[in-house]
Amino acid sequence: MAATPPPGAVRPGGRTARVREAVLEAAADTLAEKGFDGLDLGEIARIAGVGKTTLYRRWGTPGVLAADLLQDMAERSLPRSRNGDIDQDLRDNAHLVLKTLTDPRQGRLFKALIAASLCNEQAAQALRRFYAVRIDEWAGCVTDAIERGELPPGTDPRRVIAMVSAPLYYALLNTGEPLDEAAADRAAAAALAAARAGALT
């Protein structure tokens, strides 16, 4: 028997799809403006123009709603590059992360969810699923590079991709260093150098 999908995970069309789009839009705006603590389902229902019963039945908790929002964002994000060159692929990945984190809305949204993840397990799970989807998507660049002989056999594709984005998130949350194209290029270059040296196996 197939497993029952979690609340909010169904992807139907028609009116139900429009309701989901309106709810996720309201949730994203609220997260960016008020943070995870401001993600009140009753208020989201009012902003989205949907019934509270519908919203509570489908999502149930702020954590489930945040998880569905991040899943939607992950699926809508650009697919991985296929340049035939690992250097360019990793730079493309770094610049996509940079664009997300410096976007006025999405940058605040991620800050809110990262802060919430420290004390809310549902928020933490939502973030982990988002990162897993995006890392798995871009790991194919590393797999292709290994097959082309650009990286050592045994290189861990997921670790390489995670290393590209890690310095950018660190700058966003901790150091306050500029998040610009130079920072993205440095992050990609550092990940590539570590992978070529066999440090990410």
Within this chain, do residues 47 and 91 fall inside the same structural domain, yes or no? no
CATH number at residue 146: 1.10.357.10
Q: Is residue 104 part of a domain?
A: yes
Q: Is residue 151 part of a domain?
A: yes
Per-residue confidence in pLDDT tens, the chain, 201 aa? 334 444 444 444 577 889 999 999 999 999 888 888 888 999 999 999 999 999 999 999 888 898 888 888 878 877 888 999 999 999 999 999 999 999 988 888 888 888 888 888 888 888 888 889 899 999 999 999 999 999 999 999 999 999 999 999 999 888 878 899 999 999 999 999 999 999 999
Structure tokens at 26: 């309201």
Within this chain, do residues 30 and 87 fall inside the same structural domain, yes or no? no
Within this chain, do residues 65 and 49 fall inside the same structural domain, yes or no? yes
- Amino acid identity of residue 137, one-letter, is E
Within this chain, do residues 60 and 96 fall inside the same structural domain, yes or no? no
Within this chain, do residues 181 and 85 fall inside the same structural domain, yes or no? yes
Given 31, 54, 72, which residue is the final one in a domain?
72
Within this chain, do residues 42 and 121 fall inside the same structural domain, yes or no? no
Given 72, 92, 117, which residue is the final one in a domain?
72
Within this chain, do residues 34 and 115 fall inside the same structural domain, yes or no? no
Do residues 77 and 68 lie in contact, with contact meaning Cβ atoms separated by under 8 Å?
no
Q: Is residue 135 part of a domain?
A: yes
pLDDT (0 to 100) of residue 52: 93
Q: Is residue 98 part of a domain?
A: yes
Within this chain, do residues 114 and 182 fall inside the same structural domain, yes or no? yes
pLDDT (0 to 100) of residue 44: 95
Within this chain, do residues 90 and 139 fall inside the same structural domain, yes or no? yes
Long-range interactions of 166-171: CB distance < 8 A, separation 24+: 168/94, 168/97, 168/98, 168/101, 169/97, 169/101, 169/114
Domain with 107, as residue range(s), is: 80-196
pLDDT (0 to 100) of residue 6: 46
* pTM for this entry: 0.80
Given 56, 72, 88, which residue is the final one in a domain?
72
Do residues 93 and 80 lie in contact, with contact meaning Cβ atoms separated by under 8 Å?
yes
Q: How many structural domains comprise the chain?
A: 2
pLDDT (0 to 100) of residue 168: 95
Do residues 168 and 98 lie in contact, with contact meaning Cβ atoms separated by under 8 Å?
yes
Q: Which residues, 6+ apart, have CB-to-CB distance to 106 below 8 Å?
A: 32, 73, 100
Give CA–CA dist 151/76, Å, rounded.
29
CATH number at residue 44: 1.10.10.60
Within this chain, do residues 118 and 182 fall inside the same structural domain, yes or no? yes
Q: Is residue 7 part of a domain?
A: no
